[in-house]
């Protein structure tokens, strides 16, 4: 897959009293990476946020993240299921791995709100990137 990455500049209010970025802010940052990654596949603006439901999220907090240096959030791998995508993401700060995460997104029919097969258009995009 082509490397997809997003630069996130930590915000002061995302720190907590332990002096580092709070875990909930990192969960939030992962949404930024996922959504920009999905948007990068759907260059015509189709298949936007309302099509994807977050089914599960696994986060390993490998090292602390701090205010003051940019974080690079990278999509390391995507596994395509029938109605879902598993998006593996890594975050680095100052070259150090800080976060590994896996999000499972389910593709929903816009009207029925039921899971449907990930469309061929997206499968091709993901394969073209691999």
Q: Which residues contact a copy of itself (rule: CB under 8 A)?
A: 11-13, 15-20, 22-25, 27-28, 31-32, 35, 49-50, 53-61, 67
Q: How far is the CB of 63 from a copy of itself (least distance, A)?
A: 10
Nearer Cβ to a copy of itself, position 25 or 93? 25
Residues 51 and 106: beta-carbon distance below 8 Å: no
CA distance readout (Å), 24 to 12, 21, 34, 59, 121? 14, 8, 16, 11, 33
| CA pair distance 34, 47, nearest whole angstrom | 13
Q: How far is the CB of 14 from a copy of itself (least distance, A)?
A: 8
| Largest Cα span, the chain | 47
Q: How far is the CB of 15 from a copy of itself (least distance, A)?
A: 4
Q: How far is the CB of 90 from a copy of itself (least distance, A)?
A: 14
DSSP string over 32-84 = HHHHHHHHHH-TTS-S-GGGEEEEEEEEEE-S---TTS-EEEEEEEEEE-SSE
Nearer Cβ to a copy of itself, position 35 or 88? 35
Nearer Cβ to a copy of itself, position 24 or 94? 24
Nearer Cβ to a copy of itself, position 2 or 13? 13
């Amino acid at each position: 897959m082509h490397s997809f990455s997003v630069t996130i500049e930590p915000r002061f209010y995302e720190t907590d009293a332990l002096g580092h970025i709070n875990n909930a802010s990192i969960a939030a940052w992962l949404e930024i990476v996922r959504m920009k990654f999905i948007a990068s596949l759907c260059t015509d603006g189709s298949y936007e946020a309302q099509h994807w439901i977050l089914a599960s999220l696994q986060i390993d907090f490998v090292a602390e993240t701090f205010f003051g240096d940019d974080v690079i959030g990278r999509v390391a791998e995507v596994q395509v299921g029938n109605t879902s995508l598993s998006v593996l993401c890594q975050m680095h700060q100052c070259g150090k791995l800080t976060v590994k995460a896996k999000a499972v997104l389910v593709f929903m029919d816009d009207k029925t709100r039921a899971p449907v097969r990930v469309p061929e258009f997206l499968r091709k995009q993901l394969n073209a990137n691999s």
